[in-house]
Structure 1
Amino acid sequence: MKLKFSAIFFLLCFFTVSSQENQSSKKWLRIGLIYGYSSQNKIIQQDSDYSYESNILKISNHFNLAKKGNHVWELLVEPSYYRSKHEALNYWHEYFTGNENGNELRTQFMRLKSINEYVLNLGVTYRYYVNPKLSIYALGNVGPMYIDTETERLKKGFAFSDIFALGSNYKINKISFDLKCMIRHVSNANLQMPNFGFNAVGFEFGTYYEFN
């Protein structure tokens, strides 16, 4: 289901962009350094089964797909690193109760763990220019990732990172400043078990060098 959703998302983006008039060259628009923070419970209480929070670093690249007036579609490419912390909180979680060695698993996972996540975020941004300096935007991406630590919610190894965000950008000459709120989901499309996944809400801010 997740893979089908991802494919549909990118197809919709592709056909929408392809239908735009006055397409211009697929040039590199900006490059920036982004810092962010997201959490499963600290910002918005979501699930009492576990805690999960991340500090985020990204190298953000935007490429032009199409432009018509104040409306711009962009390709987003973001190599990203997430330094995360996770702890299982539910003693009766089904991953524990459904295993013969449930007590051993509780000992392993019901303690705070540090996790490294390496992600390549690939997505599409729709941007509206309020004026030549200020723009607002929405973005969605689906990126492959590697997670280096197993938890009761997700197997170590290959997974996907999905993000939806709303943000704004303010440009001063060749430098712009960016702020966004984001929702993130991590899972592996049932390629490995367990696959309960992680959810988080957070923010990102950073600065870009503008090429145009």
Structure 2
Amino acid sequence: MIKKIFLCAAFFFAMLNANAQKSRFRIGLGYGFGSEFNNKDYTFTNNFYKVQVYYGFKESRNFKYEILIQPEINFGKHQLLNLYFVKPETPNFEEKRIEYMKLKDVREYVLNIGFVIRKPFAKYYSFYLLGSVGPMITDTETERMSSGFAFADVLAIGITADCNQFRFDIRPSLRHVSNAGLGSTNAGYNTKNIEFGISYQL
């Protein structure tokens, strides 16, 4: 269902008037996937969908600066590998070890707010750096993080290609998720991801 919505929205962008007056705003869609860094404690794989709103607020001779707002839904799968990660001092640790060793579906609902520094290097191409942080809600408790409120931090580099008012984007990224100590468990997750996007200048 989500993939159909993604395709319908992309088709809608294609139907917009190509001669519309350009503005500082750009709207788009993104899709990405990734996994944890190799370790012996846990596995975590994820794929995610984003709605993206860019606002270009400043340009200099060599750089462009943008604010990026990205509502996101993340579909993750997590499993504890090292049962000794749950310490004996944890209440009901034996039951929790059994529970956490099961493969779990994790849903994350995120509002990322980011800052982009963009460097054009040809007429239709640009390179950029992105840093973002935002609140999120996760629906599943694991040995690494409590369910409920948390934060998602992303650091990414990317390259874009423009075609008329469309922009095509590829973005490797690093993502850290934790709850800043607001929950009882806060080891968090660290993942490496690759993202793809398309956006349209309004």
- TM-score range (shorter-chain normalised) is 0.7 to 0.9
Query: Residue 107 of structure 1 aligns to a residue in which SS?
Result: helix
Residue 161, structure 1, aligned to residue 157, structure 2: no
Residue 75, structure 1, aligned to residue 67, structure 2: yes
Instruction: Give the equivalent residue in structure 1 for 2:113.
Output: 122
Q: Give the alignment of 1:1-212 within 5 angstroms.
A: 28-41=24-37, 45=38, 47-93=39-85, 95-211=86-202
TM-score (norm 1): 0.82
**Is the Cα–Cα contact under 8 Å of residues 24 and 57 in structure 2 kept in the other structure?**
no
Amino acid at match of 1:60: Q
5+ residue gaps, structure 1, are 1-26
User: Cα offset for 1:34?
Assistant: 0.4
Runs of 4+ off more than 3 Å = none
5+ residue gaps, structure 2, are 1-22
User: Cα offset for 1:99?
Assistant: 1.4
* Cα distance between partner residues in 1 of 2:138 and 2:169: 27
Indicate the larger mover: 147-156 or 99-108: 99-108
* Cα distance between partner residues in 2 of 1:66 and 1:98: 53
Aligned residues between the structures: 180
Amino acid at match of 2:136: M
Deviations 1:104-154 (A, max 9, x none): 001111010001100000010000011231010000011000000000000
Deviations 1:143-198 (A, max 9, x none): 00000000000000000000000000000001111001000000001011110100
RMSD between aligned alpha carbons?
A: 1.1
* Cα distance between partner residues in 2 of 1:50 and 1:100: 21
Query: Residue 92 of structure 1 aligns to a residue in which SS?
Result: helix
Amino acid at match of 2:64: V
TM-score (norm 2): 0.86
Instruction: Give the equivalent residue in structure 2 for 1:7.
Output: none
* Cα distance between partner residues in 1 of 2:58 and 2:102: 48
